[in-house]
Amino acid sequence: MGTTQLESVPEPKYWHLKTVLTEALDSEFSVGEILPNERDLAARYGVARATLRQALEQLELEGRLQRRRGVGTTVAPPRMGVAVGTSRHTWPGAGGDVWQPVDCVRSVPPASVAAALETGGEEVHIVRRSRTSHGRSVATELLYVPAASVPDLTAIDAPSGPSRARAVLRELHRLELDGQDRAVELGSAGADDARELDRLPGSPVLVLTTRFHAAGRTAALSVATYRADTCRLTFGDSPDVEIHDDPARRAS
Amino acid sequence: MGTTQLESVPEPKYWHLKTVLTEALDSEFSVGEILPNERDLAARYGVARATLRQALEQLELEGRLQRRRGVGTTVAPPRMGVAVGTSRHTWPGAGGDVWQPVDCVRSVPPASVAAALETGGEEVHIVRRSRTSHGRSVATELLYVPAASVPDLTAIDAPSGPSRARAVLRELHRLELDGQDRAVELGSAGADDARELDRLPGSPVLVLTTRFHAAGRTAALSVATYRADTCRLTFGDSPDVEIHDDPARRAS
DNA sequence: GAGTGGTCTAGACCACCCA
DNA sequence: GGGTGGTCTAGACCACTCG
């Protein structure tokens, strides 16, 4: 009978709440401002705390909010553009590199990495590097370098540590780079990465995998993990745009 | 005294559960296989259903699981590599393009798009396209084309619809492309995109923004939305590697 | 209609930060 | 110690799919 069901799809509460909060963020709050706590917000909007949190999680995923345990929820600045390379291919650690060598060990890589490098169960050099921007740690990287790619590496340097990392990179640069290819996918931060990136374990991250080709092989493999909440990975291929940090960090 | 607290950081249950489930997926299940339902799984592992769901959500985020309401939870195949361009720059819709024109309207773009295009409050052409791979819809795109970029566009074609979309692209190709730059970031699917991609609203997506430069301006702006759970965006710059489906994703 | 995942509630306790 | 967000529980109902 006449029950014209116009709203046949009732919007979930957390979805509607997210919309409401987004508008509030745009109009009533400025970057860095601290929001009321979750219990108060939930009461204000007449929902359970869990429902409110579902909305906040979405907003954090979109980079609109930042939540820190023991502190509170703040309005996040716009995501920063992080340059991850131009069309010109260069070795990691080449001039002008923004990465900081942290460590280097010799170990057997994960199976997926070993497959890409076509090393069997052999040990490879694993260089650990980190990247900061605006004083914040934004990414960590594991660079897998087969022993065959750095044949002349000697033991004159320390067996591990930053200086060893630099030595491996130096040797790697002696190869002629034929090309590289990349892939970006969504991941979640492991315990180590989470600590390094000042996030909770399981936080969403953008994983940028780069294969470096030289001498007909994959000479090195880089797996870089970027904070997904604060970073926008930019592939600047046009001449006039390089690193482009968002100029405006203030709203309203 | 004497309480040597070795495990000062008790692992959250959902985190441990995720690890256990990951190992189970690797060893006891094969792709496409359906898991026990959430209530049974929660009971088996002695946790509340909400806690189990927290673990499942993580695994879905990592592309290991796929959940569908009314059906069940299945083991997801490895993410597919989706090629999103080489170092050679081409206009969208150029030869060999994998996108399917869907629609075209004239409308005022969002403020952020208008800023990038340096159009004021003017209307632009908005071409909607979709992309499928292996029979699945994997991405939707909105291509914003200022009227100034297609000055000779006539009204001989339909005012909207796929044929109009093709006409806009055809006119766009008459410009000489100077370059392009891209950015990738994490987003969440809006209601429209979610329907198109066969996901729930709010699902994580990878947003690939491409600016096309011609005649000293930004001649067009593409905002492509890829399913983050099933897609790995590949930037194939080396000659021998194109689309590369991951063969093995097994650990230890 | 039976079974699935999705949403929502009202509580509780814990880990962390800071005054 | 007081306040924050993070984790966890045990329930309930809803929306969807499929036989």
Judged against a pLDDT cut of 50, whether residue A189 lies above it is answered with yes
Question: Which B residues, 181 through 240, put their C-beta within 8 Å of a C-beta on chain A?
Answer: 181-188, 201-202, 204, 206, 211, 213, 228-229, 231-240
Task: Note whether B186 contacts A229, CB cutoff 8 Å.
Answer: yes
Task: Note whether A234 contacts B81, CB cutoff 8 Å.
Answer: no
Task: Tell whether A22 is within 8 A of chain B (Cβ).
Answer: no
Could you tell me what percent of chain B has a pLDDT over 90?
Answer: 64
Which whole-number Å values give the CA distances from B173 to A100, A131, B83, B145, B212, in the listed order? 43, 39, 21, 12, 11
Read off the pLDDT of residues B97-127 as tens digits, 9 standing for 90 and up.
789 999 999 999 998 899 999 888 889 999 9
Q: What is the pLDDT of residue A156?
A: 63
On chain C, which bases lie within 7 A of the protein's CB atoms?
Answer: 3-12, 14-18
Give start-end residues of each CATH 1.10.10.10 domain in chain A: 13-75
Judged against a pLDDT cut of 80, whether residue B86 lies above it is answered with no
Average pLDDT over all residues of chain B: 86
Mean pLDDT of B56-72: 96
Q: What is the pLDDT of residue A130?
A: 94
The answer to whether the C-beta of A195 is closer than 7 A to strand D is no
- Note whether A31 and A80 are within 8 A (CB): no
Q: What is the pLDDT of residue B125?
A: 94
Task: Note whether B248 contacts A110, CB cutoff 8 Å.
Answer: no
- Mean pLDDT is lowest, of A159-163, A181-185, B218-222, for A159-163
Judged against a pLDDT cut of 90, whether residue B53 lies above it is answered with yes
Task: Note whether A204 contacts B202, CB cutoff 8 Å.
Answer: no
| Chain A residue with Cα closest to B209 | A234
d(CA B177, CA B109): 22
The answer to whether the C-beta of A112 is closer than 7 A to strand D is no
Task: Tell whether A180 is within 8 A of chain B (Cβ).
Answer: yes
Read off the pLDDT of residues A68-116 as tens digits, 9 standing for 90 and up.
999 999 999 999 999 997 767 889 888 777 899 999 999 999 988 999 9
When scoring A16, A184, A206 by the number of chain B Cβ atoms within 10 A, the one with the most, hence best to mutate, is A184
d(CA A214, CA A178): 5
Quick one: pLDDT band at residue B24, thresholds 50, 70, 90?
very high
Which nucleotide lies nearest residue B35, CA to C1'?
C4
Quick one: pLDDT band at residue A239, thresholds 50, 70, 90?
very low
- Give the DSSP H/E element, type plus range, for residue B218: strand B217-227
Average pLDDT over all residues of chain A: 86
Q: How far is the CA of B199 from the C1' of C6 (A)?
A: 13
Question: Which B residues, 159 through 178, put their C-beta within 8 Å of a C-beta on chain A?
Answer: 178
Q: What is the pLDDT of residue A97?
A: 78
The string of DSSP letters for A140-178 reads EEEEEEEGGGSTT--TTS-SSSHHHHHHHHHHHTTSPP-
- Give the DSSP H/E element, type plus range, for residue B74: strand B72-75
Q: What is the CATH number of domain A13-75?
A: 1.10.10.10
Read off the pLDDT of residues B201-223 as tens digits, 9 standing for 90 and up.
999 999 999 999 998 889 999 99
Quick one: pLDDT band at residue A230, thresholds 50, 70, 90?
very high
The closest alpha carbon to B231, from B98, B122, B123, belongs to B98
Task: Note whether A183 contacts B235, CB cutoff 8 Å.
Answer: yes
Instruction: List all residues 6 or more positions away from B121 whose beta carbon is below 8 Å from its beta carbon.
Output: B108, B114
Helix B13-28 to helix B49-61 angle (10° resolution) is 60
Q: Name residue, tokens 């074609």.
A: B157
Q: What is the pLDDT of residue A2?
A: 37
Q: Hey, which residues does B125 pair with through a beta bridge?
A: B106, B145
Find the CB nearest B61 among A188, A232, A240.
A188
Q: What is the pLDDT of residue B237?
A: 62
The answer to whether the C-beta of B54 is closer than 7 A to strand D is yes
- Note whether A107 and A123 are within 8 A (CB): yes
Task: Note whether A204 contacts B186, CB cutoff 8 Å.
Answer: yes
Find the CB nearest A234 among B178, B183, B249.
B183
Which nucleotide lies nearest residue B12, CA to C1'?
D7
d(CA B113, CA B218): 11
For nucleic chain C, give residues with Cβ below 7 angstroms from it: A 12-15, 46-51, 54, 68-71; B 9-10, 35, 37-40, 49-50, 53, 67-73, 200, 202
d(CA A75, CA A79): 12
Q: What is the pLDDT of residue A142?
A: 96
Task: Note whether B238 contacts A178, CB cutoff 8 Å.
Answer: yes
Judged against a pLDDT cut of 80, whether residue A129 lies above it is answered with yes
CB half-sphere exposure, A232, CA atoms < 13 A: 21
Quick one: pLDDT band at residue B160, thresholds 50, 70, 90?
confident
CB-CB neighbors (< 8 A) of A236 in chain B: 181
Q: What is the pLDDT of residue A88?
A: 76
- Give the DSSP H/E element, type plus range, for residue B247: none
- Mean pLDDT is lowest, of B56-60, B62-66, B167-171, for B167-171
Give start-end residues of each CATH 3.40.1410.10 domain in chain B: 80-234
Judged against a pLDDT cut of 90, whether residue A229 lies above it is answered with yes
| Chain B residue with Cα closest to A57 | B202
Q: What is the pLDDT of residue B158?
A: 65
Q: Name residue, tokens 């991405």.
A: B139
- Mean pLDDT is lowest, of A34-38, B2-6, B179-183, for B2-6
Fold of B80-234: Chorismate lyase (3.40.1410)
